[in-house]
Chains A and B, each alone.
Chain A
Amino acid sequence: MSLLDVTGLTKAFGGLMAVNDVSFGVEEGGIDAVIGPNGAGKTTLFNLISGALRPTSGAVRFAGHDITGLAPHAVAARGVIRTFQLVRLFGDMTVAENVRVGFHLSTRGGIWSALVRPRWARAEEAEVAEKARVLLTLIGLADRAAVPAAQLTYGQQRLLEIARAVAAGPRLLLLDEPAAGLDMAETDALAEIIRTINRRGVTILLIEHDMRLVMGIARRIVVLDFGRKIAEGTPETVSRDPAVLEAYLGTAESCEGAEVLHA
């Protein structure tokens, strides 16, 4: 049984079919990717899975449970954590605090424990601080822990968002264009971090345009175009698929196209 099962997922905005009858599965333990030209409906797909949007029809199953139409925080509580295409950080909070917020789901403690500060609450806070520090070290931002998040470079902000997502203890991590706006060196570092996270047991599904990154780390790829799934398979099969080439380049016979996808 797949960890994530998307069946017949459809989202219509009036007459526009942003996502049209998309079905695929994500097996636990690997790194899968969703690719497609701009406007193919990839982010909408993520929004449907994460609960930010309600599907017009279709279903999403996670770890055997139907999560279709659940509110975003409920989906997160099930273990599906996402990042955003345009980085959404808590800009006025420090870098460390951003990561600590990520531990919200795995901690308890509300108003009462905040005021009274019983021992378990203090221990929990210390634990959260420590775990946050470990994650920051992983992404290389430990020395900027006390800086307001808005002051980081774009690449650093991306990594921070991923760290925050990892803090939430996901079984499935949805990364929306994590390499957007990063240069080659930053993308390589990102790939390494994604692999490390995956090795810790987190299944990853990412949306990406950067073909080098995708071909390098993805195990399986789903290709969308105009809201429909047009191909699915390993990086090798997908990069040779004529439908995919046509979607990206407009013609099935372009050899340069194949090279681009292989590069």
Chain B
Amino acid sequence: MLSSALLLQFLISGIGVGCVYGLIGIGFCVIYNASGIVNFAQGGFVMLGGMITYVLHARSGLSLLPAALAAVLIVAALGLVVDRLVVRPLWNRGATTFVMILATLAVQIVMERATLILMGDSPKSLPSFTEGGPLRLGAVAVNLQLLWIVAISLLLIAALALFFNRTKTGRAMRACAVNPQAAMLLGVPVSRMLAYAFSISAGLGAVAGILITPTQFVAYNLGVPFAISGFIAAIVGGFGNPLGAFLGGILLGVAQSLAIVVVGAGYKNVVALSILLIFLLVRPAGLLGGKA
């Protein structure tokens, strides 16, 4: 059997990946809560976060931190563009759920192919945020990047919680999620809230992408697997519940890690997808309930 140290190692890396999934899942929740739309292009934002940072850092010589920040801003702006060009026109024309989903899927394909054309299909990577070997805790080696991932994720979550609970805009967005008509009557500009939701989600996705790229790589076609993982996280946690999405992400990350131990790395996507199917069929309301 596996040594407990190795198992623990897998667990920890699972938590790290899980945090990233969780961030993507929160991105899904934010848009869903603001509009009822499931944004299938979310994965594209994640991929672009890593990709644009690579371009700015490795190709244009910017150091890592500014490159990352710039990338997040660019992707957040891209989220706004998607909202303006695709989502808003459909929304105004009363498009159905299915049409929205199909449209966001098409956006995903467009982002993917554009990246392929511009960047080619070879995987790119980013350096770890801090140099240095893995931290040793007893017999377990913890990759430093994982610590960064967890730390930044928690920070982001705290920031989001503050935003949604303490700021006027954040509360307005929550009001829209609960009852858009009432919110409108109270003078909340609902369409602007939707724009904020998209840029926040896109930004979150970008951060997730930047965090995870140093531990693996980024390529044009990683958008869909990221989106699936984020969606699973959101479903498992109970769609619409951001905290649940984060926990769901961690659960997924750990489950995947353990699955890698058992069936090997290649099938990890199949495992993830199977978890998705199981949850959809058995408990669509997720672990923490919420809108089913």
A touches B in complex, CB < 8 A: no
Residues of A within 8 A of B (CB): none
